[in-house]
Amino acid sequence: MSKRLEQYFYLVLGSTLLTLGIWLFVTPNQINFGGMIGLAQLIDYFIHKFLV
């Protein structure tokens, strides 16, 4: 059971670090990724540009 908890911990930690990296460094510098992350960044940009 402790091995499974360790795996979940690393999964959550990695996801959090990726999210913080994108939020703090990539998005403010207007760098876009490809794939689903890039699509999410474009949607976020258009929502803030035209709806907010």
CA distance 38 to 43: 9
Domain count, the chain: 1
Structural domain of 25:
2-50
pLDDT surpassing 80 at residue 3: yes
Which carries the bigger pLDDT value, residue 31 or residue 11?
11
* Interval 27-51: pLDDT, tens: 788 777 788 888 888 898 899 888 8
pLDDT score recorded for residue 38: 82
pTM of the model: 0.58
Helix (H, G, I), strand (E, B) or coil at 21: helix
CA distance 47 to 5: 37
